[in-house]
Each structure stands twice: as structure tokens, then as C-alpha cells.
Structure 1
Amino acid sequence: MCVTSCPPRACSSKHAPPPENESLLENLSILGVDLASARRRQPGVLRRHLTNEQGLAHFLQSKGADQETVASIISRFPRSITRSCEHLEERWRLWRNVFRSDAEVLGVLSRSPESFFRSSDNKNLEENICFLMTLGITARDLHRLVTTAPRTFSNSVELNRSMVEFLKSVCVSFGGKDPERFARTVISRNLYVFIRSTGRIRANVELLSGSLRLSHAEALALFQSHGAQILDVSHESLKRNLESLRTKLRSLGCGEDELKRMILNYSLVLFVSSERLNQKLDCLMDGGIHVQQVVQKPKVLDFSIDCIRQRLHDLHGLGYDFQKSGIAVLDSSRKRFLAKLERLSSAENEDARSPS
């Protein structure tokens, strides 16, 4: 451990922060740490008298990290140097229960130091892992939770359990017969639910089911599919985007049935901001697409307006008939779209060579 003393310093104000630990700064500089980045992220750490930067560096190197990786981790999450060697060993053991190898753990650590170092409560981490495993959460989803939403494991087990119980109650309220499976499915499709409040999730469930007048079967199907992914969105944003979509579709001659069908087909259109959504719909309408086609294939609204515009231009140039052939080609992958263009171009050239 690095124990250093700071020289006496006159304070110009009783509210002035204590000086940085010069010995610590020197140690971090030798390790290659970006001190400017560390100051910006967690400045208080650099004033500490008791730290473990050397122990952390040795520990990470023993797991396969090079010096550059060690420096990067400390630069991005300086509080990592406050963890004892015993704590690091125990936390690594717990993570290895989820990951297949030390290299895999180190890879996540390198990308997101916060996921490993944010919480110092190893017991809570272990209890959360055990709790989630008893729910039947797969190893793959547990892996994704640790890497994507690590704050889940900073929550108390009681808080995470309350979210699971809430999700079960949602299933029961819609007449579902397997609430545990419902909860697992929602968690698998939306890894952020544990770091949101049950109040937000409840408000979004009520908004979508009530505003769209969903039957119980429709609600269960929606929330166990793509609808799960919008449950953690800010309630005000979801409400605003839903109302904007309703207004836009109404201006295009659509009613509540079309609004409902579009969201049941692909609720992620509600992630798109009101302004961008209107621009994309206008672009498609100007390109000769019928609004009912978008209602049936709303995933096309995922693409940028520049991409939509370019695809319309390319297809029009080859005489593509959207009313006859549909719009599925517009929401295909880039590779498939280019292959489609090549086939259309070849067919057009053959027609041009054929004798009249």
C-alpha cells in the first residue's frame, strides 16, 4: 500500500480542498496514468493518503494486462486504486463465475472499468448473481447484464427482487399463466430494467396498454417481444413520441387501428424523436410509398433519412415498383440491399438486350 504524507499548506479558505498527494501523483505518472483524465473524472482520489496503485497494477498484470491497459483503467476509473488486493481477488473470483476465462474478464474491464470497480460490496454482488441464477437467467444473459448494465449488481438484492415481482404482477394482470417466464423474457430483452424504477416501467406499461387499447393477449405478446425494449424509456419521451406518431398518422389518413398495428408490428419506432420520425415518413411518402405499407413494415423507420433517401433514389433509377413489389427491400441489410440492386440491374440489362 502507498502511504504518504502531504506537506503543510496554508489554506486561503476553509472550503478549499486539500492538496493532491504528490507521492501518489508520482507513482501514477510512472505507471503511465493520464493525470488530467483522472482529475476530470474523480479528483478526490488524487488527494487520498492511502491507496493501492502498485497492488492494483501487479494484480491486473498477473491476469494478463499490459502496462498500457493498467494505465488506461486507472485513468478512466481512478477509484480503482482504492481497492485492496483481498477485495480484488474476491471480486475476480465472483466474475469468473460468470465469465469463461481471465482474458474475457480483462476484456470487459478494459472496455468498462466502472463495471468492475464501481461497487465495493462483494457480498452484494455474490447475492445478486445467486438470485438471478435462481430465476433461471441464462449464463449468456447474466454475462450481458454484467457487461451492459453493471449497476444491476450494485443494487441491493431486495431492490432487484422487487423488480422481478413487479414484472410477474404485470403478467398476472394481463391473464398470463407463466409469470416467471414473462419476467425472464422481459429481462433478457431489456437488460436495463433493473436500473430503472418500477414506477417508470408501470407508467409505460399503462400508457401503451391503455392508449392503444390492447387486449390481454396483445399486451402479453408485445411486452415479451420488441415492446420490452421500450419499457425503460423516459415516460415523458414515450408519451410525447406516441402522441406525435398518432398525430402524424392521422394527417396521413390513418386512425387508431393503424397506430396500434404499427406499434404491434415494431414498437421501436417510439424510440425515434418526433421531428425525425416526421421527416422519415414525409421522405417515404414523397418517394411513392403508401402509408399502409409503412404501417405493415415500420422497421424501415430505423434507418437514417439519408439512407432512406439514397435507397429510394437507387430503386427508382432501376424502375422498382413499390406498390407491386412491396417495401421489404428498404429495411434489408446493406449487403442484401446491394445484392438486390445487382439482380435488378442485371434483369434490366437483359431486358434491354432482348429483341422487341
Structure 2
Amino acid sequence: MLRSLTSLMFCRRVQQLHGFHCSSLSLAENTAAVAALENLSVNISKIRKLKGWVLNQSPVYVTETVAMLRTLGAGDLLISQVLQQHPEAILCPPKHLEAQKDLWMSLCASHSDLVRIIEKFPASFFTLAFHIDHQKNNILFFQNLGLNKRVVAKLMASAPQNFSRSVEQNEEMVQALQKMYLELGGNETNMKVWLHKLLSQNPYVLMKSPEMMRDTFSFLHKQGFSSSELLQLLSRLKAFVTELHPQSMALTLSYSQQTLACSDPELRQIVLQCPALLYYSVDVLTDRFKCLLSAGISLPQIMQTPTVLELTTQIVQYRIQKLHSYGHDIRTGSLELINGTKKDFEMSCGKLLLRRERPFFNPVAPVRTDE
């Protein structure tokens, strides 16, 4: 009985989202759709495994979808890849596809730009028909914020959820972010640049609620962070701090302080140097502390360079072993050599290698010549 009820609820949800009849979920595959996709060299087995329900639908618009993609300049291989990755594309009626193409071309400089977006984010282009009004309104909203067409296109591609909901929801969160920025001491002159950078780096910040953001900053304020320090956290790491919950942060801060045996002011400074510390769970931090300490690294070293905690245990172990092969003992001195990006680490290794292989030169030694 419960299974039947669950199936019925799922059917109704699919019908609401896609306009399909629930009975089609139990029908045999649409042989015409399967044949059309096979002719395009689409891997039907993968679709059956991951999104088999698509192959049961009728009507489908394989020919029309392919024709539209070809008019944009997409080649057969790319079309095959898109339909394999996002077979729901064949369920979009031609009229809706044309409307989507016109909408995206109002932002893209050329067909080739749009093709690149479809290749990377097919689900963002092949959306539900009833989202298009929200898309139009949100495009206008973001442009009125001063974002150029290229950035708006990037936002709609990478975070389509922001464009499928009402513009009022996005407007509410943007206003909350601006208010928080100013309340923490941000400069109104710089606010526009800050907001543009934030939305470009982390468009998902708009999916959070103003209440959740206020709870987060209220918690951190109670932990002793000043307004200027909270502004630093809001402005760093794509403002991910707006996405955190007080309960999880409390556990992380408590564990970090106990492990490092540091004072409250010291803990706050560590967080300001490494804001990502707030994000990691206790389990993740436990593994990373254990990895560092088992390698002979001391707690004072970690406190001096806390951003080393952003590295996975695998990366830390690899880098320590590589430095050891160059004769460097990571247990002494700073952890900066194992810190940073892959490029930073390779540059550090290069300097160590050069130092090890460079012959010793004595400026007062006599020059040896052949007799």
C-alpha cells in the first residue's frame, strides 16, 4: 500500500514538473525515440540506466531538437554528447526551444557562445516552459544591478535555479546582502564592485534566506568577532560564510579550539586566516589534524599556517613525501612549503631542487686551468 502511494505521489510530481501523463511511466519504450537517438550514436544503455523514464515519453522532439542545435552550429558529436548527458532535451517542444534560443541570444554575442553554454550546461538551456517568464524578469533584474550580458549569461548557465524562481526572491536576498555589507562597515562606493564579484563567484548565495544569513552573523558576533572581522569573512571565499549554520560552526569551533589548545582571541585569528575552517565538519578536521600530527608537524606550526587545513590528507602526504625526497624536513620551520596551490608547491620544489643541485662556489679559491 505504501509503495503504491509513493509511486502515485511520484507520478503526480513528474506530471506537475514536465506535463507528462503518469501512465507513461509504466509504458514500453518509445521505439521511434530510441531509434532516432541510436542513429545519432547516443549511448542508449546509459540513458536507460540513469534516466530511463525519458525513453517512455510521448511525444518527443528528437528531430526538432537536433535541427535547432545544428542551426546554432553544433556538430553531430557535440549533439550526441548533449542528448546523452541531458536526454530531457528531446521533451522540449519546438516552440519552447525557439523561445529559449531567442532569450539566450539576447545575452550571448554569437551562436558559438551559446553552443559552448549548451555543451557545458545543457540543463540550463533545456528548461521547463513555465520558467521563461521568471528567466526574462531575472535577466532584467541582474542587468539593472549593473551586470553585463556576459556575466548574466554565466549566472544563468551555472545557477539556473536563480532564474527559475520569482525575481522578488532574488531581490530580497540581494538587498539583505547589501544591508549586511553596509551594517558591518562596508563602503557604499565599493558595494557595487563587491556585489558583482560575489555574484560572479558564488551565484548560489542567492539561494539562501536572509534569515539564515542573519542567524549566522549573529552567532559569529556572539563568538567575539568584530564588525570589521565579520566584513572580512563576508568578503572572502565567495561569501560562503552566509551558507553556514550556527550549530555546525559551534561544533567546528569547539573542536578546533580543544585540539589547538588556543585562547578565544587566538581562535578568531586562526579563523580570519583560514575562514574555510568554519566550513569543515569535525570528522574532516579530525582526519586532517591526525595526518599533520602523525607526520611530526607541531600544533604551533599549524597555528602559524592554518590554511594547511584546507588541503586533503592525500595532498599533504604526497607533498611531505616529495619534500622529504629533496632533503627537506617539514617538521622544522614554516609549513608554507606544503601550503597553497599545486603551482605554488611545484615552484617551491623547483627552488629546493635548484638549491640542492647548485655546486658550491668559493669566490677566493684559485681558478684551475689546464696545463
Per the alignment, residue 186 of structure 1 pairs with: 198
What is the percentage of aligned positions where both structures have the same residue? 24
Per the alignment, residue 123 of structure 2 pairs with: 114
Q: Deviation at 1:78?
A: 2.8
Long gaps (5+) in structure 1: 1-13
- Residue 259 of structure 2 corresponds to residue 251 of structure 1: yes
Q: CA 1:274/1:227 → structure 2, altered by over 3 Å: closer, same or farther? A: farther
Q: Deviation at 1:72?
A: 2.8
Q: Deviation at 1:180?
A: 5.2
User: Do the aligned partners of 1:77 and 1:113 also contact (CA within 8 Å) in 2?
Assistant: yes
Q: CA 1:303/1:54 → structure 2, altered by over 3 Å: closer, same or farther? A: same
Q: Deviation at 1:246?
A: 3.1
User: Do the aligned partners of 1:227 and 1:268 also contact (CA within 8 Å) in 2?
Assistant: no
Per the alignment, residue 113 of structure 2 pairs with: 104
Matches within 5 A, 1:145-184: 145-178=155-188, 183-184=195-196
Matches within 5 A, 1:190-269: 190-211=202-223, 213-226=224-237, 228-233=239-244, 235=245, 239-240=247-248, 242-269=250-277
Q: Deviation at 1:259?
A: 1.8
May I ask how many residue pairs the two structures share in their alignment? 339
SS in 1 for 2:261: coil
Q: Deviation at 1:138?
A: 4.3
Per the alignment, residue 31 of structure 1 pairs with: 40
SS in 1 for 2:262: coil
CA deviations on 1:240-298 (whole Å, 9 max, x unpaired) are 35523432332332122222112211212333332332232233344454434433432
Structure 1 distance, partners of 2:106, 2:300, is 50
User: Do the aligned partners of 2:252 and 2:277 also contact (CA within 8 Å) in 1?
Assistant: no
Structure 2 distance, partners of 1:255, 1:325, is 23
TM-score with structure 1 setting the length: 0.80
Aligned amino acid, residue 263 of structure 1 = V
Structure 2 distance, partners of 1:200, 1:106, is 37
SS in 2 for 1:262: helix
Structure 1 distance, partners of 2:328, 2:54, is 62
Aligned amino acid, residue 339 of structure 2 = D
Matches within 5 A, 1:1-356: 17-120=26-129, 121-178=131-188, 183-211=195-223, 213-226=224-237, 228-233=239-244, 235=245, 239-240=247-248, 242-316=250-324, 318=326, 320=328, 326-348=334-356
Per the alignment, residue 369 of structure 2 pairs with: none
- RMSD over equivalenced CA pairs, Å: 3.3
SS in 2 for 1:64: coil
Long gaps (5+) in structure 2: 1-22, 365-371
Aligned amino acid, residue 344 of structure 1 = L
Q: Deviation at 1:210?
A: 3.1
TM-score with structure 2 setting the length: 0.77
Structure 1 distance, partners of 2:32, 2:323, is 66
